[in-house]
Each structure stands twice: as structure tokens, then as C-alpha cells.
Chains A and B, each alone.
Chain A
Amino acid sequence: MAPVKKTIFHLDDDIEILNLVKSVFDKRLSVNYQGFETVEAFLHAIKNKQPDLCIIDLNLTESLGAGFAVTKAIRNKAEGKMPIIVMSKRSHAKDISLALEFGASDFLAKPVDFDLLIEKVMYLLRGAESNMFPVHRIKKPVTGTLEVHLKPVMLDEAYLYVKSKFFILKNTTINMQHTLLSKIFGESKKEFLVHDCQLESHEGQYILKLIPKNPKDDYFDKIHRYLLEET
């Protein structure tokens, strides 16, 4: 029996892009590709059949940035199972972060690099089929701590700035460990909260602005002293 072809839905108000992507996919991938010019047609189709992957443009005829709302809507419907690639001329760091926050699995800037698009599509489709065993909900809570590397970049009176390879949500508690903390605060571990997380576009890393979680009275005195000593 021949393997079932994966279905890809693509929403873009530019018919030329849809035709171009279709012709590339027809030549290089064995998938069922369907392009949609309007949000209405796209949502109608997705209501009848959930595809294996979606490609969504951000700026649509309906409104600029309408793709954000569509991404969010279908992510809510499909939970985390279906990969979504957001493809747009809007490649500002904020747009990328927002698209990811709204549930996109990946982002691709226009003009489209078709080799990259094919790679991403294949990569995400493989992930979608990777779990063939029954999945069970874990009833009794299982928690853990994930360790991430953070590079200290700068300190000022208000924030500690660190670089991270990963996007981390605002208000996340990070228990940080570094010799630098011993120098400043006299303790090698300290809890911080993520106040802000911005993509630094030229390195593709994120800059986190950290503030202390439950600071003691002398927190700012110690920072102030360190800044006076070092500057």
C-alpha cells in the first residue's frame, strides 16, 4: 500500500506566490498542496480537514497582520500537533517573536528561499509523524528544571542583561548560577525574573533583561557599589 500523502494548506493573498510554491512542491515533494487566497476559504477548508502542516502569510487582503490572528486561531484548534510555518515580508524581530508567541513553529522571510522552505517543510513533517506510540496524559505532576546557558552582557542600575540562544517568556523565574553573582552579591546563585526578551537580529540570539525576584534591601546598594568599582 502506497504511503498516504501529507496535506499542506497555504494561505497567501498573492496568487503568484501560491502558484510558484505549488509548482515547486509538485516537483520536489510528494504532498497534497492546497493554496488559499482568503482567510475565509482557508478556515473553511481547515474546518473540514486538518492538514499535516500550514503555511501562513502575515499580511493578507483582509488586513495587515491578519496572519497573526489566523495562526493563533488554528493553533488553539490544533493544539501543539500541527506545524505552522509563518512566511512574510515582515521580518522584523518583533514580528518573528510575535508569530512564535502566537503558535508558529517556524518563520521564513520573503522573498522565499525555496530550498530552505522545502527543508523546513520536510523537517516539520518528519517531526509530526515521529510519535507512533500511544500518548498518555501524565496524571500525577512531573516537574523538572531545564538548564540553559546565559551569557552576561551588561549590568546597569535597573537590569542585568544576558544573551540566550532561546526565547524565554516574560516573568519566567530563572535561578542563575555564576561567579559574577558572588562578586556582586556575595552569593553564587540568585533568582531573577525575565522582564523582557528581544531578538538581537544580527546574531540570532535573544537579549534578556533580568530583574531580581524578591530583592533584599541591599540589592541595589550592591549593584551600585559594583558599578562604582568597575566604571
Chain B
Amino acid sequence: MNQKIKKVFVLDDDDKTNVALAKILQGAGYIVKIFNQMSQIQAALKTEVPDAFIVDPHSQDAGSVEFLIFRQNDQVFKKIPLIGFTEKISREEIVKMLSLGVHDYLIKPLNAKLILSILKKYLASDEHKQYLFKDEEDAIGSVDLQFTRVSETNIVAESPVKLTDDEDGLYRIVSRDLEDRGVTNAALSLTKNTTFVSQEGLFRAYFRWRGLNESILQLIRSGRF
């Protein structure tokens, strides 16, 4: 799963419009959450972050104006596109809505094509939002591997990583199974010829190991490792 489904929060006390809006948006592949009260939407915003808001600024029962002010004062939510959706609107009201951070507005009754195209316009720019890390420290990634063959000098592992000769040639491998066999202080260094094993779909790495004690060597010699 690597595609995010866009989520739209709707705040309106008009249930008929809400049902129609939900049907249209869900049909277009959006996740829609309907709220009748500002307190409900605020509670949801504690755990979820939508991609767009649709709010009727005239919906006094829903506390829409209070919500617009709340959103305007939040550093994260004010960056999320908000579309006003109202029955009638005067020039003064448009100015007021825009001053409260409304990106765009629509006049009721509901026009499916129009609302979807407006949403698409705002969410398309959001899809390319990316953050470039600046000089972050390296992360440690742990990848599973399996040891398959062993000799007194080498141990062969199969892993999904194609290892190459490192600066010091040493790799950090943690293995409970090796510890169980008494191998606790061995150092593993690559012998420089990692190859691809097509049948298993993995890379075979040849490690040289050092620091084995006599009892481990006996175990290897006897073929009981």
C-alpha cells in the first residue's frame, strides 16, 4: 500500500446536503467524515489530519465561524485547503470568508462536477508536497539474513542486501542462533565476492570469520555446526 486515499472533513448542520456531499465524494474515492458540531471536528483533529475541509460558514449551529478562527490560528490546519459551501453570499461575506482563510467557495445547491474539480485542483498541489531532510544522521536499518554454509575460515550468508567491500570490511551482524552455538566474539569480514543466487532470489555473501575458539572449530569440523 503506497497510495494515500485523500480524506475530506465536512462541517455543516444541513444533513440533506451532508448526505449528498458524502455520496459524491465517496463515489470519487475520497474518505469523507461529516461533522455537525465544531467540538466533534476538533476532537477528530486530535488524531487525524484531513487533506481538505468543506465548511458552510453560515452554519451557526455547527459553530462554523468559530471553527474558521480556530483553524486560522493553528499552524498545521491553516495549511489545509478549506472550501466554503454556502447558500447565499454577499460581497462583504466573501471578503470576510477569505479573511478567515477560506481558499475557495461554492454556492448551494450542490454541483457534483464543480465540487470535485475544485477539490482536485487543491489536492493535486498537495500530492507533490515533499520534505527534503538536511544533514540527518544515518539511520540504522536491520535486515534479516540466513547463514547456509560454514567452514573453519568462512561462513556463507544469504541476504537481500548485495554487500560490497566496506572501508574496514567488517559488518555488524547480530545473531541469537550463532550465540546459542557459542559464537560470541567472532568478527565477520566480507571476502569480497557477493554473488546473486537466482533460485532463492537473494545475494550470497562470503564472510571470513576470526576469533573462533577450539570448541567451535571442533563443532564445524565435525559437520555438526
Contact = CB atoms under 8 A, between A and B. Distances in A.
Interface of A: 72, 75-76, 79-80, 83-84, 100-105, 123-124, 126-128, 130-138, 141-159, 162, 164-169, 172-181, 194-195, 211-212, 215, 218, 220-231
Given A80-B204, A218-B48, A148 B147 contact: no
A154 B49 contact: no
Given A127-B191, A180-B133, A221-B48, A147 B151 contact: no
Q: Closest 4 interchain pairs by CB? A: A144-B175, A178-B139, A127-B193, A156-B130
A105 B172 contact: no
B187 interface: no
B139 A151 contact: yes
Contacts of A194: 160
Given A151-B139, A154-B130, A157-B129, A166 B146 contact: no
Contacts of B146: 141-144
Interface residues of B, number: 76
A158 B4 contact: yes
Contacts of B117: none
B151 A134 contact: yes
B151 A136 contact: yes
A79 to B, nearest CB: 7
Contact of A152 (B133, B148, B171, B208): B133
B129 A146 contact: no
A156 to B, nearest CB: 4
7 contacts: A138-B150, A145-B175, A162-B141, A169-B201, A173-B144, A178-B139, A225-B76
A149 B138 contact: yes
B173 interface: yes
Contacts of A138: 147-150, 225
Contact of B171 (A134, A146, A154, A231): A146
Contacts of B176: 143-144
